[in-house]
Amino acid sequence: MMESLAGLLSSTGLIFEPLFTTKSKESGLGLSLAKRLAENNGGRIRVVSAPGGGSRFTVELSSGCRGRG
């Protein structure tokens, strides 16, 4: 997923916090939920950001990950 957010590079420590958003009409739950889901399934989510270049999010899951249910 590529995303272009002004100031993302300076706020990368906060972007996975619940309710953090840079947009007035957003909830700020998407990235915190994605991080929690990845970690609960043995994975992780990473972000690499460059000023003016957008951001790249990578979700890594273990090959041994199995769904619940």
Q: For the chain, give the mean pLDDT.
A: 76
User: Cα separations (Å) of 57 from 21, 33, 35, 50?
Assistant: 16, 14, 11, 12
**Would you state the pLDDT for residue 12?**
61
**Is 37 strand, coil or helix?**
helix
Listed residue (12, 24, 67) closest to 42, CA to CA:
67
Residues 2-60: name the CATH superfamily: Histidine kinase-like ATPase, C-terminal domain (3.30.565.10)
Residue 4, token pair as written in the block: 């272009």
What average pLDDT does range 21-36 have in this prediction? 85
Residue 35, token pair as written in the block: 């991080």
Give me the count of residues in the chain. Answer: 69
User: DSSP secondary-structure letter at 45?
Assistant: E
pLDDT digits (tens, 9 = 90+) for 31-50: 889 999 999 989 999 888 77
Q: Domain boundaries in the chain?
A: 2-60
